[in-house]
Amino acid sequence: MTTTTPPSDSGGAASDGAAFPIIATGLSKRYSEVLAVDSVDIKLPAGVVGGFVGPNGAGKTTTIQLLLGLVAPTGGSAKVLGESIEHPSRYMARVGALIEAPAFYPSLSGRRNLEVLTSLGRLNPARIDEVLAMVELSDRAKDRVKTYSLGMKQRLGVAAALLPDPELVILDEPTNGLDPAGIREMRAVMRGLADRGITVLVSSHLLREIEAICDHLLMIDHGRIVFEGPISGLLDAQRSGLIARPEHAKDLEPLAALAIAAGKQARVDDDVVRITADEDWAPELNRQAFAAGITLRGLEATRASLEEAFFAITEAEDPGGEAEDQH
Amino acid sequence: MWGAFLSETIKLRRRSMLLWGFGGGLFFPLLATIFTIERATKTLEFNPHGGVRVTIAALEQPTGLVHGVVDVSSLIGIVSLCLFAAAFAVEYSQGTLRNLLVREPRRSQLLTGKFLALVVFIAIVVIVAVGVSVAVAFILAPGKGISTAAWTSSTGISDLLHAVLHAFLAAAIYGLFGAALGVILRSPGVAIGVAVAWVIPIEAIIVGAIWSNGDRWLPGQLLDALAHHGNSNSSYLHALVVLVIYAVIVATGTLLLFNRRDA
């Protein structure tokens, strides 16, 4: 499977920039022998929370650094908010970003660290209180950053990204180090940004996180984009299934045989039978089981998870390779 | 550039920067002033550990007020070298450079603004260091029977201002070399180590054992000549011109590297 919405150069740059805050065409980055980013095409629609997923080392951070003008591409081109990445000063004032682990001056307070950035970008200092409140760090703003937990530093990093009241926010692994409550708050912050019309691109190797908050997806593996499009489209395209649980264990094998006879794939898994079939076939299975004298204690439809979809795609792209573990 | 300048001033207010900057900048001139006055003799005396002790008559000259400060100008310069090297290298080693480039993508402006803020900081350090040394000299001089009349003459004031200017120029150029090392080496420890090793033992070895004429061309030797308003090796003008050429080359190279290298 390849990119579902290939970028196009047609239309004006300004309108493209408004409709698609990030457009990349054949974007590449080579470090001596290593091709970290390999001809990446991206067309991220405005107003979405875009998930950027892939294993560690797949090229997510390098792609983000390319988009932010921090590293120079060795091939291809890209536009952010309608401006070429060759001129980051033309668009970075409208972009907020958190790159890799949040880095701050440990002997300065959280507030002073943000003051460093507002002074540098000539931003409104009043934003400091607003963004500290957004990430719930107002109470600790005067404490030195070296006393912060990793989760607090992560939240301060997100606060720093929000300082310019950006049109586009790019967050690299923002939930790293956060506890479950912090992750939930971070999800709310990102959804809140999207609700205000701000486009968010969030990278993560935690696929469940991305599945929970994103509506658009970029999948990268070995430096190449292997999928781009709406997340619902990806999951719908994956094979769905049914899980049938007979009342008696002796009926497991007959139930699986019944499904196979109907042309479906089926296997016994512990005390259930897993059948590859659409949800629509569930009533028919129920009828056939009843006719065969099998009483079902439970019958539920399952949908492929993002994790399963990711492995299905990467294994299809690289049948001989082994996808990295995703947790 | 103004944003980068303002931003750097916030970082320079850190306790560690104030401690190292003012602590290092004040310590050597203060110590030199106290030693110079307290050990001054009525007649010329050779120090058993080498050199000669300053006479009271010499200290009563208009230049006597800043005698100690001028002697340790190179040490203020080395403090500046380390300060600049650390300030630039730490942005790489802490990973904060990326945050800065996100808010100020114009790299030349970022580098120049940061450098100018550090130059202003070191200027304040030099002024405070000289001011404290002068105050201590006025306090200690009567106890040693040293007349301070010439110190407050127009020639004395002029010599004081020249001493401040030369110490500042030397510190700023030392700082530029430190900034370049910080950008090139990207590690505060390595940058400071290389800087101090070059200025203290390596240049001395080169001049002493390899290139006897090196004291007219090596940067550390020239900066010493600049701080002393010329010395037996280099005239003030020679030192200033060669150092300005070095400074332009180093500044251009550093800007090019900073602009082109991936962050």
Tell me whether residues A119 and B99 touch, CB distance under 8 A. Answer: no
Task: Note the pLDDT of residue A7.
Answer: 43
A23-32, A227-236, B206-215, B237-246: lowest mean pLDDT where? A227-236
pLDDT of amino acid A189: 83
The per-residue pLDDT for B53 is 66
Which pLDDT score, from 0 to 100, does residue A10 have?
43
Lowest mean pLDDT among B34-48, B137-151, B197-211: B34-48
Average pLDDT of every residue of chain B: 88
Nearest residue in B to A112, CA atom: B10
- Note the pLDDT of residue A11: 46
Say what the ipTM of the complex is. Answer: 0.84
Amino acid code (one letter) for B134 = V
pLDDT category at A327 given cuts 50, 70, 90 is: very low
A108/B100 Cβ within 8 A:
no
Q: Shortest CB distance from B10 goes to which of A100, A116, A164?
A: A116
For an interface test with A, the pick among B103, B256, B261 (most A C-beta atoms closer than 10 Å) comes out as B103
The whole-number average pLDDT for the span B12-29 is 85
The residue-averaged pLDDT of A58-72 equals 94
B209 and chain A in contact, CB less than 8 A: no
pLDDT of B144 over the 50 cut: yes
Nearest chain B Cα distance for residue A104, angstroms: 6
Q: Which of A89, A118, A120, A124 to mutate to test the interface with B (most CBs of B within 10 A)?
A: A120
Identify which has the larger pLDDT, A105 or A193. A105
Chain B nearest-CA distance from A68, in A, is 7
Give the whole-number percent of chain A exceeding pLDDT 90.
55
Q: Do B98 and A103 touch (CB under 8 A)?
A: yes
* Chain A residues within 8 A of B15 when measuring between CB atoms: 107
Q: pLDDT value at position A167? A: 94
What is the rounded average pLDDT of the residues A221-246?
A: 83
Which of B10, B98, B263 is closest, CB to CB, to A115? B10
Could you tell me which residues of chain A have a Cβ less than 8 Å from any Cβ in chain B?
A: 65, 68-72, 88-89, 92, 95-97, 99-101, 103-108, 112, 115-117, 119-123, 160, 163-164
DSSP 8-state secondary structure symbol assigned to residue A240: P
pLDDT at A236: 67
Taking residues A303-323, report their average pLDDT: 66
Residues 6+ apart with CB under 8 A from B205: none
What's the predicted TM-score (pTM) here?
A: 0.82
Cβ-defined contact of A121 to B103 (cutoff 8 Å): yes
Lowest mean pLDDT among A10-14, A282-286, B90-94: A10-14
Q: Which residue has the tokens 């486009």?
A: A199
Interface test with A, best of B16, B99, B186 (most A CBs within 10 A): B99
31-70 in chain B: CB under 8 A from chain A: none
Q: Is the pLDDT of residue A323 over 60?
A: no
